[in-house]
Amino acid sequence: MQNYSATVVNRKQKSKEILLWFISIILFFVTMMVTLLYFLTWHLLGAICAIVLLPLATIVYPFLIIFGNLGNGVSIGLSFLLVVATFTLLLNVYTFTNEGHSFFYFLSTHAPFHQTVTRIRHFYGWTWLFWTEILAYAILYVLSPVYVLFGPFREFVYNISLKSKMWAKDHPIFFVGILFLFYLEIAFMIPVLVYQYLGKAQLFDGIVGAIAIIAFIALQFQNVTPPFFVPTFLNSQSSSPAKGSHKIIARPSEPTWITICIINLGITTFKDCVFQVTFPEGFCIQDDPNLYKDKDYSKTFKIRNNKTIIEFLPPDNYMTFAPCTNLIFPMCILTPKDTCEYQIVATLTSESAWGAYSKPLYIYINDK
């Protein structure tokens, strides 16, 4: 009798679980389909659906899992992934719609088939890039101590952003977020570790230690590290470092304007900097003042070593710039006659950083 009673209870529990799973899955897919239909146009009805469907997908579904006693590891993991998928759809469609597209972007009756396929391919390429960027953000927030304390890692991340066009335009906000998170980690983790391993009596010492470390990093850490920066070439139509490149093409034996942008990748302001660019033999820096008279961002400079080194000094120019900001240096050069790739070297020193730091740029001389 007892065995029979236990079997009935298990069957009821199993039926309850199946029913709740069925409701949860249906709720999720209904949310997905209706969201897809209405958010692609993002009009008033779509906004109303967002108000209703987003709580359903992100709150009701997990609660069904929890209160239905389905809270094992697999169930919780699946619940989390389904909620993430819903957010993915909402953000994808909303962001894509903000770019000025709608559902009919793909289904235009006037567009040929191959153009529709191209549009769909571009959309999914854009979606992949968008979520790769979000994933990279999450990873870097976890690695915030490495990002803040190691300048070469900051350069590595920023150079990736230039090539992939992911973070460069949002770099200041991204940088501030990581720096804030790093300070927050120190403020919480050091007192917690002191409390855990040294006891409650040492908690105040842990708090003081956390404050001292934050103050040192914010005020003095930059003084013992090089002035990490990234130089790029800007084209004549842009002054944004997000569109810079590490290599340009020029014709041989011609006066050529180049514009070098340097972005501060330190954690504090670089004060009274000296910026120097060294060209190989064969280049000749043009120093005619009339050339620079009406040039945007033009600065006073000195030329050394047979007109192959140009130097920008703080007494003659404003050479102080904060983290994630940049300075722009236009210069006119006479290119060499030999067609090959040349490496030039950009060097930065600062009163508020230790030593000099150099980075290469490349000019490819091509007569075609």
pLDDT at residue 327, rounded to an integer: 94
Strand 274-278 with 255-264, pairing? unpaired
Phi, psi of 254 (to 5 degrees): -130, 145
Structure confidence by residue, pLDDT tens digits, 25-49: 665 555 555 555 545 554 445 545 5
DSSP-derived 3-state class of residue 178: helix
Answer yes or no: is pLDDT of 61 > 60.
no
Which structure tokens are listed for 277? 């660019």
Highest mean pLDDT among 31-45, 55-69, 115-129, 184-198: 184-198
Domain boundaries, the chain: 2-105, 141-219, 229-365
Structure confidence by residue, pLDDT tens digits, 88-102: 655 555 555 555 554
Answer yes or no: is pLDDT of 66 > 70.
no
Amino acid letter, residue 37: L
Highest mean pLDDT among 2-11, 192-201, 338-347: 338-347
pTM: predicted TM-score of the whole model, two decimal places? 0.65
Tell me which H or E stretch contains 330: strand 326-334
Mean pLDDT (the chain, rounded): 76
In the chain, the percentage of residues whose pLDDT exceeds 90 is 35
- DSSP per residue over 53-83, as a string? HHHIIIIIHHHHHHHTT--SHHHHHHHHHHH
Answer yes or no: is pLDDT of 104 > 50.
no
Q: Report, as an integer, the average pLDDT of 47-67.
A: 56
* CATH (residue range 229-365): 2.60.40.740
Answer yes or no: is pLDDT of 358 > 60.
yes
Structure confidence by residue, pLDDT tens digits, 313-338: 998 999 999 998 899 999 999 999 98
pLDDT at residue 299, rounded to an integer: 93
Q: Residue for token digits 């060097």?
A: 347
Provide the 10 A C-beta neighbour count for residue 174. Answer: 23
pLDDT at residue 27, rounded to an integer: 58
| Nearest of 300, 287, 293, 278 to residue 332 by alpha carbon | 287
Structure confidence by residue, pLDDT tens digits, 145-156: 888 999 999 998
pLDDT at residue 26, rounded to an integer: 61
pLDDT at residue 87, rounded to an integer: 60
Answer yes or no: is pLDDT of 3 > 50.
no
| Nearest of 128, 127, 105, 132 to residue 117 by alpha carbon | 105
Structure confidence by residue, pLDDT tens digits, 252-296: 999 999 999 999 999 999 999 999 999 999 999 999 888 998 888
